[in-house]
């Protein structure tokens, strides 16, 4: 009886060690691939909201880390910097809409130094499929409605969905999601416009080539 228990214990122990080894090896073999894919995805998103005509630097390797509630929460967030011939050209601002229908909506907002939007993308969300997920470019072109616009703090009332008296369309059966995104984009733009000089003057937090996004 005792020998049987010991034998079974040894078998279970060996199985646990083998399983742990396989998991560790799988992680080791795939971690580099995952990091490479994440880097490529980031580069593609940055390229889609900060056109190549606006910069000649590698944006993903030039950034600052900022913690400010105007970006949606108090977490450290990445702001990528685009320069042209060494001069400030645009920013790609990581922000969050904390009041989505099903929680946080992670965003990346491209803004030229003039204050005009060069592009906005929803990076991560849990909004309802068929309703709130229309903030995704692959599902709807709604997010492109920001392109070329400029946020005016003096006329912030227009920076809202039409149901609230603003200029942006809401979704049929879903107002909370676009309302949250519109507000978050406006807040991110206001922050970036007020702090442009400091953001471009700050030390590079991505100089090693490792993105923090």
The pTM of the full predicted model, rounded to 2 decimals, is 0.80
Share of the chain above pLDDT 70, in %: 79
Distance CA 207, CA 9 (A): 51
Better pLDDT: 184 or 15 = 184
In this predicted structure, what is the pLDDT of residue 211? 41
Asked if pLDDT for residue 213 goes beyond 50, the answer is no
Asked if 58 contacts 75 with a C-beta cutoff of 8 angstroms, the reply is no
pLDDT confidence band for 210 (50 / 70 / 90): very low
Mean pLDDT of 195-206: 96
Residue 139, pLDDT above cutoff 90: yes
Cα gap 151→193, rounded to integer Å: 9
- The whole-number pLDDT of residue 106 equals 97
pLDDT tens digits along 49-88: 999 999 999 999 999 999 999 999 999 999 999 999 999 9
Give the start-to-end residue ranges of the domains of the chain: 48-201
Minimum mean pLDDT among 40-49, 66-75, 139-148: which range?
40-49
Q: Residue 37 CA to chain centroid, in angstroms? A: 16
Dump pLDDT digits (tens) for 158-196: 999 999 999 999 998 899 999 999 999 999 999 999 999
Adjacent-strand bridge partners of 77: 66
Tens digit of each residue's pLDDT (9 = 90 or more) over 77-123: 999 999 999 999 999 999 999 999 999 999 999 999 999 999 999 99
Query: Which DSSP string corresponds to 142-184?
Result: GGGGGTT-B--GGGGGGSSBGGGTSSB--BTTB-HHHHHHHHH
- Residue recorded with tokens 């042209």: 84
Residue 20 tokens read as 């742990």
Half-sphere exposure of 35 (CA within 13 A, CB side): 10
Among the listed residues 156, 191, 152, 153, the one whose alpha carbon sits nearest the alpha carbon of residue 67: 191
Q: How high is the pLDDT of residue 6?
A: 56
């Amino acid at each position: 009886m005792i020998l049987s228990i010991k034998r079974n214990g040894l078998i279970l122990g060996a199985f646990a060690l083998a399983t742990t080894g396989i998991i560790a090896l799988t992680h080791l073999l795939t971690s580099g691939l995952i990091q490479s894919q994440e880097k490529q995805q980031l580069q593609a998103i940055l390229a889609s909201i900060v056109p190549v005509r606006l910069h000649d630097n590698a944006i993903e390797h030039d950034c600052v880390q900022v913690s400010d509630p105007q970006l949606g929460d108090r977490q450290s967030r990445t702001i990528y910097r685009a320069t042209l011939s060494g001069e400030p050209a645009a920013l790609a601002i990581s922000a969050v809409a904390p009041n989505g229908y099903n929680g946080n909506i992670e965003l990346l907002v491209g803004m030229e130094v003039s204050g005009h939007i060069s592009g906005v993308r929803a990076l991560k969300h849990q909004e309802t499929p068929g309703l709130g997920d229309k903030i995704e470019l692959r599902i709807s072109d709604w997010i492109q409605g920001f392109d070329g616009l400029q946020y005016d703090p003096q006329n912030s009332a227009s920076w809202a969905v039409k149901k609230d008296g603003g200029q942006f369309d809401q979704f049929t059966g879903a107002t909370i999601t676009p309302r949250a995104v519109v507000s978050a984009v406006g807040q991110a733009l206001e922050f970036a416009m007020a702090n442009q000089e400091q953001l471009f003057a700050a030390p590079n937090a991505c100089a090693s080539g490792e993105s923090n996004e």
